[in-house]
Copies of this chain bind each other. A is one copy, B any other.
């Protein structure tokens, strides 16, 4: 493999393993074995396990930003439908994964926020940027009259992000997509109800 491909392969296998078992429990040797990369070559690609963890987070966040753009900037549907389509697609994905894995950023936030300030600060940035994506969409819904103008779009965006992360956690623990479905039904019947 090319050096670039090897790095990408280590990140891909590492992302999978960290998603399933967390950061602390994922050993470098086990990742290299899965990636089919010789032991000892890890430090050609990453300065430390921490640097590797941050690279995994960056890679995930990049792909996730694409996903958010796909749904929340889809100008062929109304702003509120964009939010609904994003949430429905998340529900479908989680169902396909038998409700395992959850959200990598949520998982790592839960595991590492108290342990490692570099991780915490980076995860915080990502959550803030996701919240802002929702807020932009909600403000557009307000400008087109889909939502009441007096709603604080930033606060509600944070409320959606919290509720969604919590519903993903509960789905993982229940092994059922029901909490995500309940979240979608409730949020559109109440907080995001058309005026």
Question: Chain A residues in contact with chain B, CB under 8 A?
Answer: 20-22, 24-25, 100-102, 106-107, 109-111, 113-115, 120, 123-124, 127-128, 155-156, 158-159, 161-167, 169-170, 172-175, 178-179, 182-183, 185-187, 190-191
Contacts of A107 in B (CB 8 A): 110-111
Instruction: State the CA gap A128–B24 with chains docked (Å).
Output: 28
A167 touches B170 (CB 8 A): no
Also in contact, A179 and B191, with CB within 8 A (given A101-B114, A155-B185, A172-B109): no
Distance in angstroms from A193 CB to nearest chain B CB is 8
Closest to A155 in B: B182
Instruction: State the CA gap A115–B170 with chains docked (Å).
Output: 15
Distance in angstroms from A91 CB to nearest chain B CB is 13
Please name 11 further chain A to chain B contacts, defined as beta carbons within 8 Å, in addition to the given A102-B110, A102-B114, A120-B173, sorted by A numbering.
A106-B166, A107-B110, A113-B172, A127-B170, A162-B163, A162-B169, A162-B179, A162-B182, A162-B183, A165-B166, A186-B191
Distance in angstroms from A78 CB to nearest chain B CB is 20
Instruction: State the CA gap A25–B21 with chains docked (Å).
Output: 12
Also in contact, A114 and B172, with CB within 8 A (given A22-B22, A162-B179): yes
Instruction: State the CA gap A143–B40 with chains docked (Å).
Output: 66
Q: Which of B101, B156, B163, B173 contacts A109 (CB 8 A)?
A: B173
Contacts of A106 in B (CB 8 A): 110, 166, 169
Q: Which of B100, B114, B156, B185 contacts A21 (CB 8 A)?
A: B114
Closest to A99 in B: B113
Instruction: State the CA gap A123–B175 with chains docked (Å).
Output: 11
A158 touches B182 (CB 8 A): yes
B183 touches A124 (CB 8 A): no
